[in-house]
């Protein structure tokens, strides 16, 4: 394994929820009225949101994009309400107050987040939905994975 990359559950500041619990309650009270963006159908962001919905009973509606940049642009504009976004994609906007961080997919707090975000961890997505990048030896690929 080369690296793990966490996601941050972020919302547009206009969303009334201030915590993950409040977002879940809001999503349950207004089914399919809150939208989460992902970098596309079947992406790890999409699957993180689907797992979040399944495990919490929230009903966030999925909006697939063709990559993360469109998600971030529409999230900042308030076109969509939330996303499970990669830390580098949204951290500056969280630090500037343009987005609100509600949760992370890591067991530990992300130190670069504002100090008020101490209880960000919602452990049902911990470890399960981190993007993991592996380096696989070419010989293994050739002999085992692509063997016909």
pLDDT in tens, 5-35: 778 899 999 999 988 889 999 999 998 899 9
- Cα–Cα distance between 13 and 15 in angstroms, integer? 5
Q: What is the pTM of this model?
A: 0.78
Angle of helix 68-77 versus helix 87-95 axis, rounded to 10: 20
Q: pLDDT value at position 92?
A: 94
Q: pLDDT value at position 1?
A: 53
- Cα–Cα distance between 128 and 130 in angstroms, integer? 6
**Residues in the chain, pLDDT under 70:** 1-4, 107, 114-148
- Contacts of residue 56, defined as CB under 8 A and 6 or more positions apart, other chains included, come to 24, 27, 124
Q: pLDDT value at position 104?
A: 82
């Amino acid at each position: 394994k080369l690296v793990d990359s966490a996601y941050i559950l972020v919302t547009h500041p206009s969303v009334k929820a201030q915590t993950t619990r409040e977002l879940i309650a809001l999503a349950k009270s207004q089914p399919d009225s809150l939208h989460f963006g992902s970098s596309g159908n079947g992406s790890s962001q999409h699957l993180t949101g689907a797992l979040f919905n399944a495990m919490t009973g929230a009903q966030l509606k999925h909006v697939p994009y063709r990559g993360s940049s469109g998600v971030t642009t529409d999230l900042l504009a308030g076109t969509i309400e939330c996303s499970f976004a990669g830390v580098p994609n949204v951290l500056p906007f969280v630090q500037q107050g343009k987005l609100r961080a509600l949760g992370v997919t890591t067991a530990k707090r992300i130190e670069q987040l504002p100090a008020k975000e101490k209880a960000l961890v919602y452990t049902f997505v911990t470890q399960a939905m981190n993007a993991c990048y592996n380096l696989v030896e070419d010989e293994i690929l050739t002999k085992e994975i692509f063997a016909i």
